[in-house]
A = this chain, B = another copy of it.
Amino acid sequence: MSDLEFLFHPQSIAIVGTPSNPTDVQGAGVFLDALISFGYKGDIYPVNPKVSEIRGWKTYPNLMSLPKSPDYVICCLPASLTPQLIKDCAARGVKAVSMYTAGFSEESDEGRKLEQELVSIAHQGGVRLIGPNCMGIYCPSTGLSYNPGLSKEAGRVGFLCQSGGNSLTLAFMADFRRIRFSKVISYGNAADLNEADFLEYLTQDAETEIIAAYVEGVKEGRRFTKILPQTAKTKPVIILKGGRTEAGAGAAASHTGALRSSKEIWDAFCQQVGILQAYSLEEMLDIIETFLYLKPPKGRRVGILGWGGGASVTSADDCESAGLGVPVFSSGLRQQLRRFIFGAGSSATNPIDSLILTNPSLLSQTIRMISNSKEIDVLLVYMPLAERRSLYGPEMRKVTIETILEAGKSIDIPIAIAQPHGDTPESSGLFFELQQKCLEAGFPLYSTTRRAARAINKFIEYHAWKTTHMGRQSKKVSPRP
């Protein structure tokens, strides 16, 4: 049983170190801002011997002078001053120190020694360390945060992130997509508490339903890979491995002191135990959005419906390349569809290419007809780019989307929509507007059929893996059923 729950519920927090200045984008001031902005309910103690106040808050010269012992300390001191701080923490009975301070094992051999010294002081004194070289913990439900711009709303995703910057980037990108977090843990060099500890915690955490992880290197590889298969059985795990290549591994060594692991062994392991790999933060969010907003399909047969012949070809290529099936409709279904889909330039096979997108009543009937056919497991509707002076303008598209969402609520199969983002202000503006409409109604919207297909395929892969695995616990499992 993981006993890290205390990390997320401190009754009081001390922020130790210099206030931020214009060239320091994080620093003590930003940590203070974050707690204030999140309405943190416990006591906050800024600690700094050089100034009497930070952001109008009274400061204390050192930890020993605080009126009471803080549960949790955020350390923004220079590396050389950290051993004394951890000693003071031990003396005052601090339970955990989140170490923003960098300049340890990621920098030099001396740094590595200093890091080891810290861990040894902490262990002797009963203090747990997060980091060093990290942002620490963001837990909206308890007002714990390291950046005032993060969402105040709590969600169902737990994010374990070795990089502080990536944790912020993902969380900021996620917010607009209505993806919210139970806990985000930026754990940096993992000198004391490491990836295995936090994974174990998130696996058991009732507030976390999906686990995402950005990991550069593992400290307790054996333990981590022992927990992962157990985790995958209870909740989906999506991992972006930093340092997959030689160059990336070199950068990871300078970043968090991470050691390199074999890419091939890692890939095989993930497939075997049902871990989903993402190759960018954007893809990670596509997969999470799919888990949060798409009903699980019963299989991998996709029906594609849209407007644009070339786009129908590339969307079919995108689906099959991603691993999905695009079966040809039966002649019976094609005949039925031909009642609605006719005219030169249209196609009633799969993909369906038709102007029907602009006709709510026919579109709605077509969607129902496809769903009732039982010939596919998921429907992907693609829209053409919002072109200047196109007769299929933004207003008409909103009607199309509303029709799809309405039909989507009453059919058996899950439905996903792709509207091109198009790399232009005009089309991306429309994309963002429609995305909010879709998410509000509980459906995902993807910016390309390629991204849709990749994310949906991983989503299906996880459910298929889980079904196979949970159904035949005693047998060795093929990771791609």
Identify the A interface with B (CB < 8 A): 20, 22-25, 33, 78-79, 101-103, 106-107, 133, 147-149, 161-169, 172-173, 175-177, 214, 216, 240, 242-248, 250-252, 254-256, 279-282, 285, 308-321, 325-326, 328, 344-345, 347, 349-351, 353, 355, 358-359, 384-385, 387-392, 420-429, 432, 447-448, 450
The answer to whether A169 touches B448, judged by C-beta atoms less than 8 angstroms apart, is no
Tell which of B102, B310, B387 touches A162, judged by Cβ atoms closer than 8 Å. Answer: B310
The answer to whether B254 touches A326, judged by C-beta atoms less than 8 angstroms apart, is no
Tell which of B316, B358, B385 touches A172, judged by Cβ atoms closer than 8 Å. Answer: B385
The answer to whether A351 touches B251, judged by C-beta atoms less than 8 angstroms apart, is yes
Report if A166-B245 is in contact (Cβ < 8 Å); known contacts: A385-B173, A389-B147, A432-B425.
no
The answer to whether A242 touches B172, judged by C-beta atoms less than 8 angstroms apart, is no
Specify which chain B residues have a CB less than 8 angstroms from the CB of A169 in the assembled complex: 308, 310-311, 384-385, 387, 420, 422
Kindly list 6 other residue pairs between chains A and B, CB separation below 8 angstroms, not including A242-B317, A247-B325.
Answer: A172-B424, A216-B313, A246-B320, A250-B326, A251-B353, A428-B432
The chain B residue with its CB closest to the CB of A151 is B388
Specify which chain B residues have a CB less than 8 angstroms from the CB of A388 in the assembled complex: 149, 172
The answer to whether A250 touches B316, judged by C-beta atoms less than 8 angstroms apart, is yes
- Minimal beta-carbon separation of A353 from chain B (angstroms): 7
The chain B residue with its CB closest to the CB of A172 is B387
- Minimal beta-carbon separation of A443 from chain B (angstroms): 17
- Minimal beta-carbon separation of A419 from chain B (angstroms): 12
The docked-state distance in angstroms from the alpha carbon of A175 to that of B432 is 21
- Minimal beta-carbon separation of A131 from chain B (angstroms): 11
Q: List 13 A-B contacts (CB under 8 A).
A: A23-B355, A24-B391, A25-B391, A163-B308, A163-B309, A173-B422, A176-B426, A242-B317, A247-B319, A255-B353, A281-B314, A282-B448, A421-B423
Specify which chain B residues have a CB less than 8 angstroms from the CB of A22 in the assembled complex: 391
Report if A392-B25 is in contact (Cβ < 8 Å); known contacts: A216-B313, A242-B314.
yes
Specify which chain B residues have a CB less than 8 angstroms from the CB of A173 in the assembled complex: 385, 422-424, 427
